[in-house]
Structure 1
Amino acid sequence: MKVCEITGKVAIVGNNVSHSHHRTKRKFSPNLKTKRFWSEQEGRWITLKVSAAGMKTINKKGLAAALREAAAPKSVY
């Protein structure tokens, strides 16, 4: 299953809508890439399957903070 390891994004379902408004089901997949990130704390490369938004999060917050936030339980409210 395609899941971003940082943001948790998954495929969602929608419709293809033709010119005559005939609707058929389709799937919207997240923009996932397999990317290696250097971990300063561990001194090794970490390979993650991340979306483009996940890469931006890692660039903004840093790898350690992004992984910590991804592992934390999500609030329902």
Structure 2
Amino acid sequence: MGFCFLSPLFFLCHLNDQSPDPFRPAEDSLGDNNPVAANLGTDNPDDFGACRICPFTGKKANRANKISFSAHKTKKLQFVNLQYKRIWWEAGKRYVKPRLSTKALKTIEKNGLDAVAKKAGIDLRKE
């Protein structure tokens, strides 16, 4: 190591070069194992809000513009209105509690839970 202006303790700590250099970040500080760093570099704008998708209808977040008083447009996401709802499943003789959109709830009331789940390809026996 080179000459250090910090303190004698710094020099004594780095005599053996066993500890990492304090001026250089560690290799694993922003590596592949860091979930925060992995999510910061997403190139696909559709990745945001991916967990907020209705399993019955497939509705997902809509990218829209937020328009200020000066008509400056900034991007925003309009999320789906997802709710946890306890629904009686007649074929299974029990309640299921899926997270679904309010539009899917209206569709289930109209067509029945079995028909909507079958059309969406959802197996209610797992829940």
Query: 1:41 and 2:94 equivalent?
Result: no
Query: 1:4 and 2:54 equivalent?
Result: yes
SS in 1 for 2:92: coil
Equivalent of 1:21, from 67, 71, 77? 71
Identity %: 38
1:66 is aligned to 116
* Alpha-carbon distance between aligned partners in 2 of 1:49 and 1:4, rounded to the nearest angstrom: 7
* Alpha-carbon distance between aligned partners in 2 of 1:3 and 1:46, rounded to the nearest angstrom: 18
TM-score, normalised via structure 2 length: 0.54
Query: 1:53 and 2:103 equivalent?
Result: yes
Higher strand share: 1
1:55 CA displacement:
0.4
1:19 CA displacement:
2.1
* Alpha-carbon distance between aligned partners in 2 of 1:27 and 1:37, rounded to the nearest angstrom: 29
* Alpha-carbon distance between aligned partners in 1 of 2:118 and 2:62, rounded to the nearest angstrom: 25
* Alpha-carbon distance between aligned partners in 2 of 1:61 and 1:11, rounded to the nearest angstrom: 25
TM-score, normalised via structure 1 length: 0.86
2:47 is aligned to none
Question: Does 1 or 2 have the higher relative contact order (CA < 8 Å, sep 6+)?
Answer: 1
Q: In angstroms, what is the RMSD of aligned CA positions?
A: 1.3
1:75 is aligned to none
SS in 2 for 1:41: coil
Query: Bigger radius of gyration, 1 or 2?
Result: 2
